Amino acid sequence: MLDIKLLREQPEWVKAQLARTGTDGTLVDEVLAFDEQRRRLLQEVESLKAERNAASKAISKMQDAAQRDLRIAEMRVVGDRIAALDRAVAEVEAAQRLALLSIRNLPHPDVPDGASEDENVVLMQSGELRAFDFGPKPHWELGEALGWLDFERGVKLAGSRFYLLRGNGARLQRALIQWLLDLHGQQGYSEVYTPFVVKEQCMWGAGQLPKFRDNLYRDEDAGLWLVPTAEVPVTNIYADEILDAAQLPIYLCAYTPCFRREQMSAGRDVRGIKRGHQFDKVEMYMFVRPEESAAALEKLREDAAETCRLLGIPYRIKALCTGDLGAAATRTYDLELWSPGVQEWLEVSSCSNVEAYQARRANIRYRPEPGARPDFVHTLNGSGLGVPRTMIAIMENYQQPDGSIAVPDVLQPYLGGTQFLT
C-alpha cells in the first residue's frame, strides 16, 4: 500500500512512476476523490460529535426538567444525523482502502525501464557451463528412469501439475531443504516454522489480495487460505505490532510448501516439475529500518547467490525491469540456475525490496527512538531457493552417462556421505 499522503501531495509524480510499469493512474484519481469525500464527511460528523459531547456534559448537570427534556429532544436529531454520517464515512473509507490496496508499488529510480521480461538486465553470470560428452537429458527423463518422479500417480491423487517424488529423489529434496535452512542460519537468518494456512487478513497484508485471488487455494468453510509462499505467514508475524528499534533488523528464514492454482499459466511449463500446484521453497525474509533496506537487498541477493555458488551450478543474476517487476516490489533481482537438459535458465530465487508496501498493509511499525512516533518498517523477501527448480538444476547438471546423479559436495553430509544417487 502506498502512503496516502504521497498521493495527495504528488499525484502526478505517482502516476508517472506507475506509468513506468505500464500501469495507468486511474486508481490514483479514484483514491483522491474518495479521500476528498471522506474528509468532507469527517469534518461534518466530527463537529457534530463535538457538539454532542458538550451537550451531554451539560445535560448531566441540568436541574430544570423541562429545559433538560428539550435539549435531549434536540440532541436526538443530532444523534440520528451522526449515525447516518458515520455509515457514510465507513462506506467511503472502505471504498478508498480497496482502491489504495489495489495500487501497485512504485519502482525504485534505479530499476531499468522496460516493457516485459525481455528487457530484464543480466548483471552477472558465474560458473562454467559443463561440457558434456554425451547428450544431457531433461530431468523428467532422468527422474522417471530413476523412479524418482511419478507423474501418473500424482495426477491420480490430485490432478494435473501434481507429482510424487520417490526414493532417493525424495531424499535428495529433503537433504536440499535441510542444507538450505542450515546455510541461512549461518548467514544470520533465524529459522521459523509457520502455519501453512492463514486467515484472509494475512493475504491482504502480504499483498496477495485483492490481485491474486484466482491463484490462491482456500477453505471457505474454515475461512483459511493455503499459503502461496512463506512470505505470507512471515510478513504477518509482526502485523499490528510496534517493534523496538533495538530488535531490528530481524532476519528470518522459513521452509514451507507453496500452493498455487496457476490459473494464469495454463499450458505453460507442463512437462516436468518446473511449475506445480504444490512446491517447496525456503524463504529468507527481513524486517529492517527504512534507511537500511537498500543495503539489506544487496545482502539478500548475495546470500541467495551463495547458495547457487555452493551448489556448484552456473547461475546468473538479473535486475528486473519496470515491466516485469512484481506488484509489491520496488526493486527485484532474479537468480537463475542453468539447466543443460532443458537448455534454459531457471528462475530459482527472486529477491525484492518492497520497502513499506507490506508493512503499511499489515501495520508493522517500529519506534525509531524511545518516545518517538512509530514508523513503518521496510520488508524484503528472497527465495533461498525454490526447491523443485533447484532439483531440476542438480539433476540435469550432475547427471552421469549411466543415468545416476552425482551429489553436490555440500549435500553429501545430508545423505550419509553418498556421492552418487540412483
Partner RNA sequence: GGAGAGAUGGCAGAGUGGUCGAAUGCGGUCGUCUUGAAAACGACAGACCCGUGAGGGUCCGUGGGUUCGAAUCCCACUCUCUCCUCCA
Q: How far is the CB of 163 from RNA (least distance, A)?
A: 24
d(CA 235, CA 205): 8
Shortest spacing between CB 95 and RNA, in angstroms: 15
Distance of CA 295 to the CA centre of its chain: 19
x/- mask, RNA, residues 186-225, rule CB under 7 A, reads ----------------------------------------
Nearer to RNA, 277 or 365 (CB): 365
Which CB atom, from 55 or from 98, has the smaller least distance to RNA?
55
Amino acid letter for position 27: L
Cβ density class 385-398: b for 16+ within 10 Å, e for less: bbbbbbbbbbbbbb
Please say which residue, 57 or 268, places its beta carbon nearer to RNA: 57
Instruction: Please name the amino acid found at residue 175.
Output: A
Count of residues of this chain found to bind RNA when the rule CB under 7 A is applied: 29
The label of the residue with cell 461534518 reads 44
Residue with cell 510448501: 257
84 binds RNA (CB under 7 A): no
Strands 278-288 and 250-259: antiparallel
Write out the binding residues for RNA, residues 41-70 only, by CB under 7 A: 42-43, 46-47, 49-50, 52-57, 59-60
Closest approach of Cβ 115 to RNA, in Å? 36
Cell numbers for 352: 525484492
Select 8 or 211, whichever has its Cβ closest to RNA: 8
Alpha-carbon distance of 128 to 149, in angstroms, equals: 28
Q: φ, ψ for residue 73 (rounded to 5)?
A: -60, -40
Beta-bridge partner residues of 355: 379
Q: Mark 230-249 with x for binding to RNA (rule: CB under 7 A) and - for no binding.
A: ------------x-------
Q: How far is the CB of 376 from RNA (least distance, A)?
A: 9
Concatenated DSSP letters for 354-371?
Answer: EETHHHHHHTEEEESSTT
Among 6, 32, 33, 75, binds RNA (CB under 7 A): 75
- Within 10 Å of residue 107's Cβ, how many Cβ atoms? 22
Nearest residue (CB) to RNA, 1 versus 405: 1
Q: Which of residues 371-390 bind RNA (CB under 7 A)?
A: 371, 373-374
Beta bridge partners of 405: 399, 421
What SS3 state is found at 268?
Answer: coil
Is the bond into 385 cis (omega within 30 degrees of 0)? yes
Q: What angle do CA 255, 389, 161 make, to 5 degrees?
A: 90
Taking CB under 7 A as the criterion, the residue among 9, 10, 39, 70 binding RNA is 39
Nearest CB to RNA, comparing residues 1 and 335: 1
Q: Is the dihedral of CA 298, 299, 300, 301 positive or negative?
A: positive
**Among the residue ranges 258-266, 316-324, 335-343, 368-376, the one whose residues contact RNA (CB under 7 A):** 368-376
Phi, psi of 172, rounded to the nearest 5 degrees: -60, -45
Residue 277 to residues 144, 148, 152, 270, 395: CA-CA distances in angstroms? 19, 18, 15, 11, 21
Q: Which of residues 1-30 bind RNA (CB under 7 A)?
A: 4
> Which residues from 89-108 bind RNA, rule CB under 7 A?
90
Q: Shortest gap between Cβ of 7 and RNA (angstroms)? A: 11
Query: Of 6, 32, 33, 78, which lies in the binding site for RNA, with binding defined by CB under 7 A?
Result: 78
In the 8-state DSSP scheme, what is residue 54? H
**Residues 338, 129: contact at Cβ < 8 Å?**
yes
User: Considering beta carbons, is residue 56 or 126 the nearer one to RNA?
Assistant: 56
Selected range binding RNA among 71-79, 95-103, 175-183, 309-317, rule: CB under 7 A: 71-79
Q: Which of 79, 112, 127, 312 binds RNA (CB under 7 A)?
A: 79
Q: Interface with RNA by CB under 7 A: which range of 77-85, 226-234, 307-315, 329-337?
A: 77-85
Please report how close the Cβ of residue 312 comes to RNA at its closest, in angstroms: 38
Binding footprint of RNA on the chain (CB under 7 A): 4, 39, 42-43, 46-47, 49-50, 52-57, 59-60, 72, 75-76, 78-79, 83, 90, 242, 365, 370-371, 373-374
